[in-house]
Amino acid sequence: MVIHIQARVKNLVCALILLFISLPSFCQDIYWTEEAKTAYGYISELRIDESMYIIRLQSITHPDNLIWPYLEDYALFLQIFLQEDVYKIPDFLESSSLRSDRISVVSDGNPLSLMCQAQIQLHQCALRMEQGQFVSAATDLNQAFKLLKKNQKLYPDDFANLRLYALIKIAFGAIPDQYRWLVTLVTSLNGSIDEGLKELHMIIDKSTPDNNIFLQETILLTALAETRLNNKPENGLQLLNKYCGKVPTNRFIQYVMANVNIAAGNNEAAIKALVQETGGPKTLKIPFMDFMLGRCKLCKGDDDADIYFKNFILFNKGKHYLKEAYQKLGWYSLLRGDEVSYAANMQQILLKGVTTTDQDQQAMREAETKEKPHPVLLKCRLLFDGGYYDQALAILSDAFFNSLVHQTQRLEFLYRKGRCLQAKKSYAEALHYYSLAMKFGEEDLHYYACSAALESGVIHETLGSDWAAAKFYNMCLNMSPETYSTSLHQKARTGLSRIGL
């Protein structure tokens, strides 16, 4: 009898355990709670460890809510992506797919379901791109686009979904023409930079923190898109000044604020943002911010610029921008007359990093060709990049031009002077120097003539002469310098898209 009762109790316990385990599969949903909002707030401030503590605890106590695997994916993605921790990518991708599968059980009657799945696909896409897995990345991107497009039809007023949908349109619009046919061949993507930006600005104008938890994120991503893809950093600055002020309150705002100010030529503002203490000791460190600060200080001529490049090389876990970092250390040495250290850093360029970015390619070319920059022209270049236009123009005198012996150096002089005059809005003079640069550099392998054509197009577009702008944008596209051609051609195509020609 006792044995029989024990058996009955054992069976009952097993049944209850099985019932408990099976319940989530029928009851699981996705919804925001106060704890979830707090965790997301920590993620947006790059307080990853603090967010993960909440996520893991809530995943145990509230396993029915699939907001937790979504937030976990978001937090871990940012940690890996911003630190370029390539060794963690394979494990992340495997776990990320499982998290997406879990969320897929939620009906698309909940607008969060498809949006969360799509964003996880975008995380996977970005990291596959980091590893050079372009076909798999395109598959992820296509799947995300389809999910977002479907969700947009079901919930056209959902800001969370629209922010991602608009960003993919912008990304597609920024793809160079020579690659776009391939993207359209393997994906169903469509859209343009202008279309996507209009949608992002609409979200910002119509939403509040109360009805859109992603509002600040949308503002920051829009500022970056305006700056880096639409080539209008002034629009990015307006957004940041209006919604974030001039002093960063967290590390993500700090990163975006510095990025936009650098693109706008506001070197002092970028340095001010980068040296701010934001977050606590557990806030995620972004190694690239050391690179940014080093570059800003190099432009200004500060003696401690080298420290930040060395920190970047030490703490960066990825392969991108390493060649450029060594190049900038070489420039730092060259400007101080230390040609031995310059040569040593050029040697490191040949050994470290990859040549994925235009900047790394340019660094590699300098190391391979042993074409050492002219120190004075290099100083002018850095002063211009920092927005110190008057100081650069003071150096670019006729007497200095006449002292230059090599044709390439004279070509660079013409281009640099045009750039400074353009920045000072002396457009007629700038166009004169650009025309000389194009005339003497059309067959040259350096990027000066190609960039001069692009900037001539920008000036004419600014002045409202669209046909003249189109002429120079097309001239830019017809040149193929050994470095920076991808970014220059992308900007030219974006310009043609803006004016509709």
Whether residue 15 has pLDDT greater than 50: no
Question: Do residue 361 and residue 402 come from a single domain?
Answer: no
Question: Do residue 192 and residue 63 come from a single domain?
Answer: yes
Whether residue 62 has pLDDT greater than 60: yes
Indicate the residue type of 267: N
Question: Do residue 308 and residue 216 come from a single domain?
Answer: no
The residue out of 205, 222, 239 marking a domain boundary is 239
**8 A C-beta contact, residue 483 and residue 448:** no
Whether residue 24 has pLDDT greater than 60: no
Q: How many CA atoms lie within 13 A of 443 on its CB side?
A: 1
Question: Do residue 346 and residue 461 come from a single domain?
Answer: no
Is 444 inside a domain boundary? Answer: yes
Question: Do residue 39 and residue 187 come from a single domain?
Answer: yes
CATH code of the domain covering residue 415: 1.25.40.10
Question: Do residue 291 and residue 211 come from a single domain?
Answer: no
At 138 the pLDDT is: 86
Cα gap 348→326, rounded to integer Å:
7
SS3 159: helix
Token couple for 283: 């806030």
Lowest-pLDDT range, 13-17, 284-288, 307-311, 482-486? Answer: 13-17
> How would residue 275 be classed by pLDDT, with cut points 50, 70 and 90?
very high
Flag whether the pTM goes above 0.85.
yes
Question: Do residue 156 and residue 302 come from a single domain?
Answer: no
CATH code of the domain covering residue 87: 1.25.40
SS3 64: coil
Q: What is the mean pLDDT of residues 214-243?
A: 95
Question: Do residue 219 and residue 75 come from a single domain?
Answer: yes
Whether residue 67 has pLDDT greater than 50: yes
At 179 the pLDDT is: 61
At 487 the pLDDT is: 85
Q: What is the mean pLDDT of residues 454-459?
A: 97
At 21 the pLDDT is: 39
**8 A C-beta contact, residue 202 and residue 163:** no
Comparing CA positions, the residue from 72, 145, 83, 147 lying closest to residue 111 is 147
Question: Do residue 40 and residue 179 come from a single domain?
Answer: yes
At 501 the pLDDT is: 74
Tell me the residue ranges of DSSP E strands in 272-376.
none
Tens digit of each residue's pLDDT (9 = 90 or more) over 393-443:
999 999 999 999 999 999 999 999 999 999 999 999 999 999 999 999 988
Measured distance between the N- and C-terminal CA atoms of the chain, rounded to whole angstroms: 91
> How would residue 315 be classed by pLDDT, with cut points 50, 70 and 90?
very high
**65: which strand partners?**
29
**8 A C-beta contact, residue 74 and residue 119:** yes
232 Cβ contact partners less than 8 Å away, ≥ 6 residues apart: 226
Burial of 150 (0-12, 13-18, 19+ CB in 10 A): middle
Comparing CA positions, the residue from 347, 338, 285, 333 lying closest to residue 312 is 285
Whether residue 146 has pLDDT greater than 90: yes
Question: Do residue 363 and residue 410 come from a single domain?
Answer: no
At 176 the pLDDT is: 61
Question: Do residue 124 and residue 221 come from a single domain?
Answer: yes
At 272 the pLDDT is: 96
Whether residue 7 has pLDDT greater than 70: no
Whether residue 105 has pLDDT greater than 60: yes
Residue 472 belongs to what domain range?
Answer: 398-501
Look at the chain and report how many structural domains it folds into.
3
Percent of the chain with pLDDT strictly greater than 90 = 77
Is 262 inside a domain boundary? Answer: no
Is 34 inside a domain boundary? Answer: yes
